[in-house]
Amino acid sequence: MRALIQRSLQATVTISGEAVGSISHGLVVLLGVEHEDTAEDAEWLAGKIHQMRIFGDADGKMNLGVKEVGGAVLVISQFTLHASTKKGNRPSFIRAARPEVAIPLYEHFMSTLSKEVPVQCGVFGADMQVALINDGPVTVWMDSKSKE
């Protein structure tokens, strides 16, 4: 399971011009599910994200997590995080999980995360537009397979 995490001041996801998810302060998580991912991957990633200390404390040092600053998380499904560009110029998405595998894991990830912080989301598989004000900018890449 891969995630691109962005600290944001404000973020909204819209579908056909209608806002379906919005946060005022917190994290935007673009989430990609691989066909070999499990519930353990979702739980590990959710745990790391809500505890990640990437918000400034009183001294301006990144020492606080999203929960500590009263923030929320906007989760957007994004199979393209599993793109392979090894051959040619057209990305291959063969490693991305099919919906019957990806949807339950995406939902499990959000359910696990929502036990700790407020969570908003887009619609799995929809054509979405995401608008955000990236704070910092602070952007972190995580992969549950490498656990770096």
Tell me which residues are annotated as active site: 78-80
Task: Give the CA count within 13 Å in the CB-facing half-sphere of 44.
Answer: 15
**CA neighbours closer than 13 Å in the CB half-sphere of residue 92:** 7
Distance CA 135, CA 8 (A): 5
Span between the terminal Cα atoms of the chain, in Å? 13
Decide: 49 and 112 in contact? Cβ < 8 Å.
no
Strand partners, 42: none
What is the DSSP code (8-state) at residue 98? P
Any idea what the Cα angle at residue 98 is, between residues 128 and 44, rounded to 5°? 85
> Locate tokens 């906007």: which residue?
74
